[in-house]
């Protein structure tokens, strides 16, 4: 390895790289070498997903994950580790989520459904029975006559846009029916909602996710239905408008509980009052193991700490490693962290200059999503040659991540960066029973960790300090 690094130095000097660029190149090479030879992210993910399991906010397993994350940070040498208390929702899926389609001749077909996060159960935990109205957009409901909506179950059957190359954009374009569909249906008299799962995959797996109710509209039960069953049901209703759905769910919400963000700090040597935050979210949905979403981001964050220590790096700025709680159904961890950051900046000389997030899965890394000034974006794009040997080519402007997005409200506004893995298969697993350890590729996960660490190192070294 040392011969390789020495060769890299000679080569970079020969091609006219500055000493700083040569040092950066050597450091980045060391990060990739270390993770591919001695990486611990994959085994950490195995522990998180198999020994602890899902980590729905408010659950006992989320509490266990918090304790585990804090212990790993201590093991990897963080200077200080603490829990930032956050009040989080406590909602349970229950044990029943059944839906069947019934014809008048006694025939029936079982449908694959699961409760959307935050949904109420069916009244008295008994089934509701109703005809079905099929729409693709929320706006269609207001255009229908009352007899086509009142007392019915609405099926929202808009697929993610298949021509969007960016699957995240396709997801965002279909999200409104999951987030707001139940209230939109209830507002026109419906008694239940089924929402086509947000995935390009044609399968029989329902994909859950958060929904929200409007306070002034009755709460009705809402379930995700698999893409295969949604397509079948839409055609079946067209052929037989009198077809009935029987839906039963026993999900339930309880009082909020205290959990928290896990925060590990590594103090900087030159500019300790300038803070760079990096993290992923510790919570996950409960029908899988939260391996890609966001176990990958959790172990990426922990591995950055281990990697930088392993190569003997000394950060100029203070690095904060944050495992956020409650991203999935409230983002209360990200909001609480930003509020504390604002208070910290008002009461001390500390300033938050950058934040990075990994919350797009453990797939092969492609680059970064940058939410920053023109000058910083231009700076990061000068790093293309440094990342080219590792097939990292994307330096795109866009949303950097849910957990770090509340930091935009700080003044001065910090640079926000999201790790961007290949997303074509992400929504095959997202929020489903398939989001398990076995569907994460070890080498791809490790490459993501090294790429995340390299971005932290370069921002620490080269991001300009904010002007007073």
Digit-coded pLDDT (tens) for 40-92: 999 999 999 999 999 999 999 999 999 999 999 999 999 999 999 999 999 99
446-466: per-residue pLDDT in tens? 999 999 999 999 999 999 999
Can you point out the beta strands (E) in 389-447? 394-397, 415-421
Q: Give strand pairing partners of 88.
A: 257
What is the distance in angstroms between the CA of the first residue and the CA of the last residue of the chain?
43
pLDDT in tens, 262-294: 999 999 999 999 999 999 999 999 999 999 999
The C-alpha atoms of residue 81 and residue 227 are separated, in whole angstroms, by 43
The tokens describing 386, both together, are 């440094």
DSSP string, 65-122: HHHHHHHHHHHTT-SEEEEEEEEEEEEE--S-EEEEEE-TTS-EEEE-EEEPBTPPPS
The DSSP string of 22-41 is HHHHHHHHHHHHHHHHH--H
**Structure confidence at residue 20 (pLDDT):** 77
The pLDDT score that the predictor gives to residue 209 is 98
| pLDDT at residue 279, rounded to an integer | 98
What pLDDT, in 10s, does the model give residues 153-190?
Answer: 999 999 999 999 999 999 999 999 999 999 999 999 99
The radius of gyration of the chain's CA atoms, rounded to the nearest angstrom, is 24
Structure tokens at 92: 């349970």
Mean pLDDT of the chain: 95
Give the pLDDT of residue 17. 57
Quickly state the pLDDT bin for 11 (edges 50, 70, 90): very low
Per-residue confidence band for 2, with pLDDT thresholds at 50, 70 and 90? very low
pLDDT in tens, 214-256: 999 999 999 999 999 999 999 999 999 999 999 999 999 999 9
Q: At what angle do helices 296-310 and 442-462 cross, to 10 degrees?
A: 60
Q: Hey, what long-range contacts does 121-124 have (CB within 8 A, 24 or more apart)?
A: 121/94, 121/221, 121/249, 121/250, 121/251, 121/252, 122/192, 122/221, 122/247, 122/248, 122/249, 122/250
The pTM (predicted TM-score) of the whole model is 0.94
pLDDT in tens, 100-149: 999 888 889 999 999 999 999 999 878 999 999 999 999 999 999 999 99
Domains of the chain: 2-90+255-462 (3.40.630.10), 94-250 (3.50.30.30)
Please check whether residue 323 is in contact with residue 261, taking contact to mean a CB–CB distance below 8 angstroms: yes
Range with the poorest average pLDDT among 13-17, 186-190, 192-196, 364-368: 13-17
Residue 419 predicted with pLDDT over 50: yes
**341-355 as b/e: b if 16+ CB within 10 A:** bbeebeeeeebbbbb
Does the CA dihedral 352-417-45-114 come out positive or negative?
positive
pLDDT digits (tens, 9 = 90+) for 328-352: 999 999 999 999 999 999 999 999 9
pLDDT value of position 132: 98
Supply the pLDDT for residue 159: 97
Would you tell me how many other CB atoms lie within 10 Å of the CB of residue 3?
A: 7
Give CA–CA dist 411/201, Å, rounded.
Answer: 42
């Amino acid at each position: 390895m040392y011969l390789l690094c020495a060769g890299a130095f000679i080569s970079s000097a020969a091609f006219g790289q500055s000493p700083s660029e040569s040092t950066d190149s050597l450091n980045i090479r060391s990060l990739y070498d270390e993770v591919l030879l001695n990486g611990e992210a994959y085994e950490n993910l195995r522990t998180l997903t198999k020994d602890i399991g899902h980590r729905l906010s408010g659950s006992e397993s989320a509490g266990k994950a918090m304790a585990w994350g804090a212990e790993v940070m201590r093991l990897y040498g963080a200077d200080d580790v603490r829990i930032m208390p956050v009040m989080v929702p406590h909602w349970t899926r229950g044990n029943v989520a059944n839906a069947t389609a019934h014809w008048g001749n006694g025939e029936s077909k079982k449908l694959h459904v699961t409760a959307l996060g935050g949904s109420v159960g069916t009244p008295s935990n008994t089934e509701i029975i109703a005809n079905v109205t099929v729409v693709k957009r929320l706006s269609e409901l207001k255009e229908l006559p009352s007899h086509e909506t009142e007392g019915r179950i609405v099926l929202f059957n808009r697929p993610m846009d298949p021509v969007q190359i960016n699957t995240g954009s396709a997801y965002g374009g279909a999200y409104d029916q999951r987030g707001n569909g139940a209230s939109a249906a209830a507002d026109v008299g419906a008694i239940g909602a089924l929402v086509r799962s947000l995935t390009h995959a044609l399968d029989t797996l329902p994909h859950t996710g958060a929904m929200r109710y409007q306070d002034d509209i009755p709460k009705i039960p809402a379930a995700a239905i698999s893409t295969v069953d949604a397509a079948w049901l839409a055609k079946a209703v067209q052929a037989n408008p009198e077809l009935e759905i029987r839906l039963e769910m026993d999900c339930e919400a309880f009082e909020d509980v205290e959990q928290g963000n896990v925060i590990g700090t590594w103090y900087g040597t030159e500019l300790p009052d300038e803070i760079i935050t990096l993290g992923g979210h510790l919570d996950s949905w409960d029908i899988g193991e939260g391996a890609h979403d966001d176990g990958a981001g959790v172990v990426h964050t922990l591995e950055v700490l281990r990697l930088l220590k392993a190569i003997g790096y000394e950060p100029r700025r203070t690095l904060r490693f944050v495992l956020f709680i409650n991203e999935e159904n409230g983002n209360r961890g990200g909001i609480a962290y930003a509020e504390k950051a604002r208070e910290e900046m008002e009461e001390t000389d500390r300033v938050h200059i950058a934040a990075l997030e990994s919350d797009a899965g453990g797939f092969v890394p492609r680059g970064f999503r940058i939410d920053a000034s023109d000058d910083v974006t231009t700076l990061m794009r000068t790093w293309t040659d440094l990342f080219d040997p590792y097939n990292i080519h994307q330096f795109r402007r866009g949303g950097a991540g849910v957990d770090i997005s509340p930091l935009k409200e700080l003044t001065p506004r910090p640079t926000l960066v999201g790790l961007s893995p290949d997303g074509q298969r992400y929504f095959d697993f997202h929020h489903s029973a398939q989001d398990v350890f076995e569907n994460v590729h070890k080498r791809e996960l490790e490459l993501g960790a090294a790429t995340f660490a390299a971005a932290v190192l370069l921002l620490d070294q080269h991001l300009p300090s904010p002007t007073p």
